[in-house]
Amino acid sequence: MSFSLLSPRTALVPILLCAVASAQEAPTDPAAAPDEATPMEEVIAAIIDEGKNNSQVWETLTYISEEIGPRLTGSSALERANVWSRDRFTELGLTGARLHRWGEVPVRFDRGPSSVKMVGPVEREIEFTTRAWGAGTDGPVRGLVVKEPKTMEELEAVRDQLEGAWLLSKESRRRRNRDRDAAKAEREERKKVEEALEGFTFLGKLRGSSRDEITTGGVRGWRELTMETLPTEVEITIRRQDYDAINSRLSDGEEVEIEADLKHYFTEGPFGVFNTIAEIRGTEFSDEVVIISAHLDSWNGPGSQGTQDNGTGSSVTLETARILMAAGVQPRRTIRFCLWSGEEQGLLGSRGYVESLTDEELEGISACFVDDGGTYYQGGLFCIESMEPMLSAAIAPVNAAFPELPIDIEVRDKMPRGGSSDHASFNRKGVPGFFWTEKNRPGLEGMGYQFSWHTQRDTLEYAIEEYLIQSATCSAVTAYSLAMADTLLPRYIPEPPAEEKAEEEPAAESKDTKQASGDSPITGDWSAEFTTPGLEFGLVLAMDSQGAVTGTMVMGDDRRKLEKGKWDAAKKTLTFQYESDSYGRLTATGKLQEDGSLKGDVKSSPDSDGYAWVATRKAPKGKGDSN
> Quick one: average pLDDT of 145-172?
94
Q: Strands, E, within 134-263: which ranges?
A: 141-147, 166-170, 204-208, 235-238, 257-261
How many degrees, rounded to 5, is the angle at CA 334 between CA 277 and CA 350?
A: 35
CATH topology of domain 497-617: Lipocalin (2.40.128)
For 11, 41, 398, the CA distances from 24, given in Å and listed in that order, are 12, 10, 18
Residue 483 has pLDDT above 60, yes or no: yes
Residue 217 has pLDDT above 50, yes or no: yes
Per-residue confidence band for 335, with pLDDT thresholds at 50, 70 and 90 = very high
Per-residue confidence band for 51, with pLDDT thresholds at 50, 70 and 90 = very high
pLDDT at 445: 56
- CB of 111 within 8 A of CB of 279? no
Judged by average pLDDT, the poorest of 129-143, 235-249, 546-560 is: 546-560
Output Rg (C-alpha) for the chain, integer angstroms.
Answer: 27
pLDDT at 459: 95
- CB of 300 within 8 A of CB of 307? no
Per-residue confidence band for 545, with pLDDT thresholds at 50, 70 and 90 = confident
> Quick one: average pLDDT of 581-592?
78
> Quick one: average pLDDT of 105-124?
97
**Count of beta carbons in the 10 Å neighbourhood of residue 444:** 14
pLDDT at 516: 37
Q: Shortest CA distance to 398 belongs to which of 42, 48, 38? A: 48
615: three-class secondary structure by DSSP: strand
Question: Cα separation of 113 and 137, whole Å?
Answer: 12
**CATH 3.40.630.10 in the chain, residues?**
8-25+35-105+272-484
> Quick one: average pLDDT of 251-259?
97
Residue 400 has pLDDT above 50, yes or no: yes
pLDDT at 555: 74
pLDDT at 626: 40
pLDDT at 173: 58
Residue 432 has pLDDT above 90, yes or no: yes
Percent of the chain with pLDDT over 70: 83
Percent of the chain with pLDDT over 90: 69
Residue 398 has pLDDT above 60, yes or no: yes
Residue type, 159: R
Contacts of residue 359, defined as CB under 8 A and 6 or more positions apart, other chains included, come to: none
Residue 521 has pLDDT above 50, yes or no: yes
> Quick one: average pLDDT of 358-365?
98
For 345, 449, 468, 532, the CA distances from 455, given in Å and listed in that order, are 16, 10, 21, 10
Judged by average pLDDT, the poorest of 5-19, 479-493, 502-516, 567-581 is: 5-19
Cβ neighbourhood burial of 286 (10 Å; 0-12, 13-18, 19+) = middle
Per-residue confidence band for 74, with pLDDT thresholds at 50, 70 and 90 = very high
pLDDT at 582: 53
**DSSP 8-state class, residue 489:** P
Looking at per-residue confidence, does 500 or 570 come out higher?
Answer: 570
Residue 8 has pLDDT above 50, yes or no: no
CATH class in words for 8-25+35-105+272-484:
alpha beta
DSSP one-letter string for 301-353: -TT---IIIIIHHHHHHHHHHHHHHHTT---SEEEEEEEE-S-TTTSHHHHHH
DSSP one-letter string for 515-543: HHHTT-SS-EEEEEEETTTTEEEEEEEEE
Residue 529 has pLDDT above 90, yes or no: no
Contacts of residue 92, defined as CB under 8 A and 6 or more positions apart, other chains included, come to: 318, 321, 322, 325
> Quick one: average pLDDT of 111-132?
97
Query: H or E element: which one contains 438?
Result: strand 437-439
Residue type, 503: E
CATH of 114-174+181-262, one of 3.30.70.3190, 3.50.30.30, 3.40.30.10, 3.40.50.1370: 3.50.30.30
**Count of beta carbons in the 10 Å neighbourhood of residue 386:** 15
In the chain, how many H helices and how many E strands?
16, 26
Question: Cα separation of 532 and 213, whole Å?
Answer: 11
Strand partners, 115: 261
pLDDT at 519: 58
Contacts of residue 429, defined as CB under 8 A and 6 or more positions apart, other chains included, come to: 354, 362
Residue 137 has pLDDT above 70, yes or no: yes
pLDDT at 33: 44
**CATH 3.50.30.30 in the chain, residues?**
114-174+181-262
473: three-class secondary structure by DSSP: helix
pLDDT at 395: 98
* Intra-chain end-to-end CA distance of the chain, in Å: 57
- CB of 435 within 8 A of CB of 421? yes
Contacts of residue 378, defined as CB under 8 A and 6 or more positions apart, other chains included, come to: 371, 407, 436, 437, 438, 470, 471, 474, 475
Q: Shortest CA distance to 384 belongs to which of 367, 363, 359? A: 367
Per-residue confidence band for 175, with pLDDT thresholds at 50, 70 and 90 = low
Judged by average pLDDT, the poorest of 359-363, 379-383, 566-570 is: 566-570
**Mutual angle of helices 152-162 and 180-197, in 10-degree steps:** 20
| Average pLDDT, rounded, for the chain | 86
297: three-class secondary structure by DSSP: coil
- The DSSP bridge pattern shows strands 285-295 and 558-561 to be unpaired
